[in-house]
Amino acid sequence: MNRVFIDSSFWITYREETEARWSEAQRILTGLFRQRTHFVTTLPVICEIHANFSRNPRKRALILKDLCHNPLVTIENVSHQDHKEALELLSIHKDKTYPLCDALSFVIMRRLKIASVLAFDIHFRQFGQFEIIS
């Protein structure tokens, strides 16, 4: 099964028509749907996306439908061990700017052996261990 991790930076762009890379996000996702890609994300990522649209009730509902009620999306649970490993990553990589949510994503992607991520921010590039689909 072809699995790709979803980062908030990508999905916010995908659902916000005013974003500079909106058309690119649409094109990428259309291609992945055609390939029958299965998507993985976490509740912390969904919380970031949902918070971004907190003042737009229609988009908040759409985000929940996109990610929480979609058979193509798995919401992976974050374990206590994942938390510990993410905190350790942050302490080791103090020179990087990625937040805890992204460190959790890195740990979970490693655990699940997911090699590719949909992301538009610099954090996955900084970490340097995954193929970035963007």
Instruction: Summarize pLDDT for 24-80 with one digit per residue, the tens.
Output: 999 999 999 999 999 999 999 999 999 999 999 999 999 999 999 999 999 999 999
Q: CATH number for the domain including 56?
A: 3.40.50.1010
> Would you state the structure tokens that stand for residue 72, as one six-digit string?
């193509």
C-beta separation of 37 from 3 below 8 A: yes
pLDDT in tens, 90-102: 999 988 888 999 9
- Give the predicted TM-score (pTM) of the model: 0.94
pLDDT of res. 134: 77
Q: Which domain holds residue 119?
A: 3-133
Annotate 59-122 with three-state secondary structure: HHHHHHHHHHCCCCEEEECCCHHHHHHHHHHHHHCCCCCCCHHHHHHHHHHHHHCCCEEECCCC
In the chain, the number of structural domains is 1
Q: In the predicted model, is pLDDT for residue 1 greater than 70?
A: no
